Amino acid sequence: MIKYIPLSLVLLFTSTGFAQNGKLVNKVLAQVGDNIILLSDIEIQKLQAKQSEMEVDFDFSCSVLEQLMVQELLVNQAKLDSIPVSDEQVDAEMENRLRIIEKDMGGRDKLEEYYGKTTTQIKEEFRSVIKDRILAQEMERTITNGISVTPKEVSSFFEALPKDSIPFINMKLSFQQIVIYPDINAEDNKRAYSELNEVLDLIVVGGKSFETMARIHSDDPGSASLGGKIEASRGMMVPQFESTVFKLKVGEVSDIIETQYGYHIIKLISRKGDDYTCLHILNMPEFSNDAINTASIKMDECYKRLNENEITWNEAIAIYSNDERTKQNLGIITNPITGDQMWDMEDLNQVDQQIYLLTDAMEKGDITSPNLYIDIYERKQGIRIVRLMERFTPHIANINDDYSLIKAAAENDKKERTMGTWINSKISNAFIRVDESYSKCEFSHKWFSNSNN
């Protein structure tokens, strides 16, 4: 039987207009009400799955077809219920999906080459598809909104799990931090501006290559090695940067602008509608030696007071930390990959290898001595103390140590059952037709009982 999959996990794009090598495949595989699902819809999904190295077989095609039929049911209901979806939601979702596909394909140029269209044209082609996907997701959220489980339901769910289905939990850790970033003063900003102004003169007056200057001088690790190259669309960059891009003519170099990251100069390479390619050089103001020494002295004082139990950890955060990302959350470091407070080793190695090295031999509640720290989000250097909140050793999941994990699984199970009931009720009242070539699919729902084959 095909397990119900939340629509947020279905593949990126479905289109009735595209197929491999530009050839249309227009055989109708299913009809839900007035809406049809084509063979080309399934083929696009299969192609994307292959590019992601997923297993693609007949069962996969059955699963995709069923999810597309579920989506049509949800979209129809969302329109009947007048669920709103703004243009901003569609634009944001479109950008997110395009970025993922671009990454898989090797860049925006490859994406445009594959579809034989500009990014702007692709957006227009897929706009109604993305809007329907969002409508379906919003309808799904409406149906499952407010679903929760009691402690008794959590226990019953866990006890009903087959022994061989109880998950193995890898080592999990959670951390807190106190960070002090040295102050950047007016003199530091002035120095950074002056340095970048010299680079601007070398480009505009001296005729030096913008790309070469970016490789040598830019502080942006993501683009410096590419000669400062950035490919983006409206809404992806900070407002000051984007405002400048859309004022420039192709080939023109901007004056120095300031953003939250520092000072930039920008050269526009091309622009098509909301999409653009530019080069940029970033110079981030650096604090003085005096500033880092002041921060070090302050952090040493904090460390000493903690060790002597003069202040609690929470008091230390309030008094010393100036890290806005964690200060309001008792210093807890959230895992950006999962959005959870717990980290596994793979995520740690990817995001913050230093933490594991610092805390490997520590016990719960221990703190590190002050260490230099680079914030990966703001690319700022500071000094921090890390505290080990929790360490869960590898184990088979149990209700005591992993209650929150089991509760989330129980809630998901309840949502799936709720959605299954809703889907079955809608199938019984809708016109459904499924092509006989899919009659051997082990669907989760009885689509054929109301079909005309």
Does residue 5 surpass a pLDDT of 70?
A: no
Average per-residue pLDDT in the chain?
86
pLDDT tens string 352-407: 878 878 877 888 999 999 998 887 766 678 999 999 998 888 889 999 888 888 99
Residue 436 burial by CB count (10 A; 0-12/13-18/19+): exposed, middle or buried?
exposed
Give the structural domain span for 200: 186-283
Closest by CA to 367, choosing from 388, 391, 343, 342, is 388
Q: How far apart are CA 12 and CA 3, in angstroms?
A: 19
Beta pairing, strands 371-375 & 168-169: unpaired
Question: Do both 378 and 446 map to the same domain?
Answer: no
Query: pLDDT-based confidence at 33, cuts 50/70/90?
Result: confident
Q: Which of 266, 283, 300 is the last residue of a domain?
A: 283
pLDDT for 26 equals: 66
Are 319 and 215 spatial neighbours (Cβ–Cβ below 8 Å)?
no
Residue 333 burial by CB count (10 A; 0-12/13-18/19+): exposed, middle or buried?
buried
Calculate the CA 56 to chain-centre distance. 25
Q: How far apart are CA 69 and CA 423, in angstroms?
A: 10
Q: Which of 238, 253, 283 is the last residue of a domain?
A: 283
Residues 6+ apart with CB under 8 A from 297: none
Q: Is residue 419 part of a domain?
A: yes
DSSP designation for 225: G
Q: Is residue 123 part of a domain?
A: yes
pLDDT for 6 equals: 39
pLDDT for 111 equals: 79
Q: Is residue 342 part of a domain?
A: yes
> In this predicted structure, which of 40-54, 77-91, 310-324, 325-339 has the lowest mean pLDDT?
40-54
pLDDT for 8 equals: 38
**CATH code at position 40:** 1.10.4030
Residue 264 burial by CB count (10 A; 0-12/13-18/19+): exposed, middle or buried?
buried
pLDDT tens string 393-426: 888 999 988 888 899 899 999 999 999 999 999 9
Indicate the number of domains in the chain.
3
Q: Is residue 277 part of a domain?
A: yes
Partners of 173 in the β-ladder: 343, 391
List alpha helices for 106-172, DSSP H.
Answer: 108-115, 119-144, 151-160
Between these two residues, 99 and 190, which has the higher pLDDT value? 190
Are 23 and 39 spatial neighbours (Cβ–Cβ below 8 Å)?
no
Question: Do both 90 and 197 map to the same domain?
Answer: no
Query: pLDDT-based confidence at 88, cuts 50/70/90?
Result: confident
**CATH code at position 260:** 3.10.50.40
pLDDT for 449 equals: 61
Does residue 10 surpass a pLDDT of 60?
A: no
Token representation of residue 92: 């944001």
Query: pLDDT-based confidence at 3, cuts 50/70/90?
Result: very low
Q: What is the mean pLDDT of residues 171-195?
A: 91
Question: Do both 209 and 99 map to the same domain?
Answer: no
pLDDT for 18 equals: 40
Say which amino acid occupies 90: V
Say which amino acid occupies 418: T
Q: How far apart are CA 81 and CA 93, in angstroms?
A: 22
Q: What is the mean pLDDT of residues 322-348?
A: 86
Question: Do both 439 and 354 map to the same domain?
Answer: no
Q: Is residue 351 part of a domain?
A: yes
Question: Do both 140 and 235 map to the same domain?
Answer: no
pLDDT for 315 equals: 96
Q: Is residue 155 part of a domain?
A: no
pLDDT for 74 equals: 95
Q: Is residue 157 part of a domain?
A: no
Q: What is the mean pLDDT of residues 107-130?
A: 82
Does residue 310 surpass a pLDDT of 50?
A: yes
pLDDT tens string 216-229: 999 887 899 999 99
Question: Do both 330 and 386 map to the same domain?
Answer: yes
Question: Do both 292 and 273 map to the same domain?
Answer: no
Question: Do both 176 and 325 map to the same domain?
Answer: yes
Q: How far apart are CA 62 and CA 30, in angstroms?
A: 11
pLDDT tens string 264-280: 999 999 998 888 999 99
Question: Do both 219 and 357 map to the same domain?
Answer: no
Q: What is the mean pLDDT of residues 27-33?
A: 90
Question: Do both 46 and 115 map to the same domain?
Answer: yes
Question: Do both 386 and 306 map to the same domain?
Answer: yes
Question: Do both 261 and 294 map to the same domain?
Answer: no
pTM: 0.58
Q: What is the mean pLDDT of residues 88-109?
A: 78
Q: Which of 253, 283, 313 is the last residue of a domain?
A: 283
Q: What is the mean pLDDT of residues 139-148?
A: 94
